Amino acid sequence: MNSSSLSSLCCRRSALRQSVAHYRRFASASTASPKSAPPSPKNRWVGIAIITIAAGSTGAYLRSQSPASDTLNPETFTKYSLVSREPVSSTSSLFTLRPRYHSDRNYDVYEDAWRIGVWSVMFKQPQLQIGRDYTPLPVTAATPLTVDEENEGYLRFFIRKDPFGEVSRYLHSLSIGADIEMRGPQIECAIPKETQEVLFIAGGTGIAPALQAGYSLLNRTTEENRPRIHIFWANRLKEDCIGGQSDTPVLETVRRSWFSGWFGSSKNTSSNDQAALHSLEDKSTSMIVRELDGLKSQYPGQVTVDYYLDEENRFIGKKEISDYIASTPRPLDNVPGRKLILVSGPEGFISYMVGPKVWADGKELQGPLRGIIKELDLKGWAVWKL
């Protein structure tokens, strides 16, 4: 602790002692004379409040002086460095980060989280002192890390630049090499060990948790145990999933998309967006599609994906979901924990599919099941909102 910090701390402690002494003098003066009335409850609580505030401010100051951790943890923020930012579409990028200070323990922290299920970390926007949760991408054969990068604790994130998102705009403004503070892991959904079938309904960047769920679930594969995951991935624009081929024949429909109700028609894209789209269409396959294809190659017959595009009038609806449910193996019916539906994406997407999450007692909770999944009245499927 430097001299200015020590001086400041001493001043705070002195103020605390003065507050206690003042309260004691007040209590002594009030009780010394038999003619004096006892202190009123109001004055007593004022004195206690002064002591509490002074003690709390001193504790906060001491905590602020504690050194930052070199290992990712849920309690304090850990510094990472921005290694690269690779455009995935005109509105999103792949961020690669590594810990600012090397720690052998980071690898174990990541592995424990991967084994449990879907997890996230909080990124801090230091100017506004606000945070936003993002989901790390798993390492696959399609976009591998080197041995050194894995050992150094590299993490990758698929992040869309939201024009109204303070944290995402901040992240996209950073220069390579800049520090980013993160806290976690936060387990978003623990996938039960007995789970054999996952239906993941993803909207936009909600595909990142889907990749996580697939990675965690499929890593449990043995000769006797071959779990499956089917992913419905909805996007507004083709540029987000260039090269993606659905495993189930998808018929065009004129149903109204959830995107239209929340963001307006995707047909009204700006000229800049259209130019970016045309340039990106020259690429054979997008990075995220390569990730999905990599999982398919690594676990043949256990991963299937269907792509839905708002701009092509192809949307996820009751028929698509019920048709998939009807195709799942019958022996799994009514066995608790064996079949799981996960939904991830923007708030409007989640609300449309399964109803919104709710806040209570300062916590975000699942809330009642609603939306089109509720209307389907599925039996034997657990549902979780991410």
**Cα–Cα dist 120/110, whole Å:** 10
Cα–Cα separations (whole angstroms), residue 125 to 66, 77, 174, 178: 20, 12, 11, 13
Task: Please tell me whether 168 is known to bind a ligand.
Answer: yes
Asked if pLDDT for residue 317 goes beyond 80, the answer is yes
Task: Please tell me whether 98 is known to bind a ligand.
Answer: no
Question: How far is Cα of residue 53 from the mean position of the Cα atoms in its chain?
Answer: 34
More confident: 347 or 8: 347
Task: Please tell me whether 132 is known to bind a ligand.
Answer: yes
The three state secondary structure string of 222-288 is CCCCCCEEEEEEEECCHHHHCCCCCCCCCCCCCCCCHHHHHHCCCCCCCHHHHHHHHHHCCCCCCHH
Share of the chain above pLDDT 90, in %: 54
Cα–Cα separations (whole angstroms), residue 332 to 77, 180, 191, 296, 305: 42, 44, 16, 22, 21
Instruction: Please provide the average confidence, as pLDDT, over all residues in the chain.
Output: 79
Task: Please tell me whether 134 is known to bind a ligand.
Answer: yes
Half-sphere exposure (Cβ direction) of 341: Cα atoms closer than 13 Å: 23
**Cα–Cα dist 199/355, whole Å:** 17
Of 84-93, 97-106, 264-273, minimum mean pLDDT range: 264-273
Asked if the peptide bond before residue 356 counts as cis, ω within 30 degrees of 0, the response is no
> Residue 52 carries which side chain, given as an amino acid letter?
T
- Kindly write down the DSSP assignment for every residue of 132-156, as one continuous string: EEEPBPPP-SSSPPPHHHHHTT-EE
Q: What is the pLDDT of residues 211-228, one digit of tens each?
A: 999 999 999 999 999 999
- pLDDT (mean) for 133-142: 85
Long-range pairs for 61-67 at CB < 8 Å and ≥24 separation?
61/8, 61/9, 61/12, 62/9, 65/1, 65/5
- pLDDT band for 29, please (50, 70, 90 cuts): very low
Of 57-66, 181-190, 338-347, minimum mean pLDDT range: 57-66
Of 8-12, 216-220, 290-294, minimum mean pLDDT range: 8-12
Cβ(17)–Cβ(9) below 8 Å: no
Q: What is the pLDDT of residues 333-383, one digit of tens each?
A: 667 779 999 999 999 999 999 999 999 888 889 999 999 999 998 888 999
Asked if pLDDT for residue 283 goes beyond 50, the answer is yes
